[in-house]
């Protein structure tokens, strides 16, 4: 019973990843050098692929075999989700704090503000590098929410006019915009595989 469940999981996962990437079964078969009938049988949950076949398919779908076959139990899934969201919240607050510390402090000199500009590019480009398989929108939602929230909080707390002038003068808003744009478009700056 467990093998059947695993077979269904793998077949469904391959099918959904293939569709998500806009690849037909024929294209997957051609690119992976796996017989079309084998691909069809895997996706219909009629067979479990051998390791070598699975590796060829995963290479085309740009996912590791361990990520593909990883099954999450319900208990582990809930704990993992809570942990991931907690990490993302803390991470976003830390990113906001770094940019705010470098730019908003009244004693911040030109070097500190320049450091804020540099940091607002290099931190997000590192995030883009390590999350290259993520879509641009997903990356922006996960790692850019803090920047967007910070931008909105400044506008609300200070009033639009004062926040805009203070934000531009202190380099906060340019830094936030650089960070958001880098998170969304940064994959275009990285070398392609």
Q: 81-139, pLDDT tens digit by residue? A: 788 888 889 988 888 888 888 877 666 788 888 888 899 999 999 999 998 888 898 89
Q: For position 108, what pLDDT does the model report?
A: 72
Count CB atoms within 10 A of the CB of residue 48.
Answer: 18
Q: How confident is the model at residue 74 (pLDDT cuts 50, 70, 90)?
A: very low
Q: Would the pLDDT of 174 be above 90?
A: no
What CA–CA distance (Å, rounded) separates 116 from 150? 15
Question: Which of the residue ranges 63-77, 95-109, 111-125, 145-159 would you say has the lowest mean pLDDT?
Answer: 63-77
pTM of the model as a whole: 0.56
Q: For position 127, what pLDDT does the model report?
A: 92
Q: Which of 136, 142, 125, 138 is nearest to 91 (CA)?
A: 142
Most confident of 9-23, 58-72, 121-135: 121-135
Token pair for residue 66? Answer: 């361990």
Question: Which of the residue ranges 32-46, 72-86, 159-173 would you say has the lowest mean pLDDT?
Answer: 72-86
Q: For position 118, what pLDDT does the model report?
A: 92
Average pLDDT on 1-12 reads 68
Average pLDDT on 40-64 reads 86
Token pair for residue 83? Answer: 């942990």
Residue that the structure tokens 């340019």 belong to:
174
Biggest CA-to-CA distance, the chain = 68
Q: What is the mean pLDDT of the chain?
A: 82
Q: For position 65, what pLDDT does the model report?
A: 78
Token pair for residue 151? Answer: 């931008």
Percent of residues, the chain, with pLDDT higher than 70: 89
């Amino acid at each position: 019973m467990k093998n059947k469940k695993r077979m269904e999981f793998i077949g469904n996962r391959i099918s959904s990843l293939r569709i998500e990437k806009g690849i037909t079964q024929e294209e997957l078969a051609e690119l992976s050098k796996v017989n079309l009938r084998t691909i069809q049988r895997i996706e219909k949950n009629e067979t479990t692929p051998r390791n070598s076949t699975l590796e060829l398919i995963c290479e085309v779908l740009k996912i590791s075999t361990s990520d593909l076959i990883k099954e999450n139990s319900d208990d582990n899934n809930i704990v993992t989700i809570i942990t991931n969201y907690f990490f993302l919240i803390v991470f976003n607050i830390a990113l906001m704090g770094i940019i705010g510390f470098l730019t908003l402090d009244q004693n911040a000199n030109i070097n500190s503000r320049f450091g804020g500009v540099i940091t607002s590019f290099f931190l997000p480009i590192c995030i883009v590098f390590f999350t290259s398989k993520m879509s641009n929108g997903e990356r922006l939602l996960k790692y850019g929410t803090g920047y967007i929230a910070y931008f909105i909080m400044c506008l609300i707390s200070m009033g639009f006019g004062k926040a805009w002038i203070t934000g531009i003068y202190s380099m906060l808003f340019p830094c936030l915009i650089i960070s958001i744009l880098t998170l969304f478009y940064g994959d275009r700056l990285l070398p392609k595989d």
